[in-house]
Each structure stands twice: as structure tokens, then as C-alpha cells.
């Protein structure tokens, strides 16, 4: 939890956007998790 951690491999495709290695990837996972119910029930 100390910030960005270098990934052990190069991230490609959708893994570059949804991952647990970078802050941006973590934020994208949270946004997708929160937005999913609104897509189905909104």
C-alpha cells in the first residue's frame, strides 16, 4: 500500500487497465465495481 509497485511483467490488453499493481489499475477496478450495479439496475 505504499504506492505504485512495478509489475513483475509487462501488462498488455485489458490487464493494463484493470490490475492491482498500479494506482490507476486499482482505481479502474473500483470504478467498474461501483458502476456495475448502476448499469444493471439504473
Whole-number pLDDT of residue 42? 73
Residue ranges of the chain whose pLDDT lies below 50: none
Neighbouring CB atoms inside 10 A of 26's CB total: 14
At residue 12, the pLDDT reads 87
Give me the domain span that covers residue 22. 1-42
pLDDT of residue 24: 92
Give the model's pLDDT for residue 8: 62
Least Cα distance to 25 among 16, 33, 34 occurs for 16
Number of C-beta neighbours around residue 14 at 10 A: 9
Confidence (pLDDT) at 4: 64
Residues 6+ apart with CB under 8 A from 36: none
The number of domains in the chain is 1
Helices (H), the chain: 23-41
CA 11 to mean position of chain CA atoms = 12
Residue 5 is predicted with a pLDDT of: 63
What pLDDT was estimated at residue 7?
60
Amino acid at each position: 500500500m505504499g504506492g505504485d509497485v512495478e509489475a513483475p511483467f509487462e501488462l498488455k490488453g485489458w490487464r493494463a487497465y484493470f490490475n492491482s499493481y498500479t494506482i490507476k489499475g486499482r482505481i479502474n477496478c473500483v470504478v467498474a465495481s461501483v458502476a456495475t450495479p448502476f448499469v444493471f439496475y439504473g
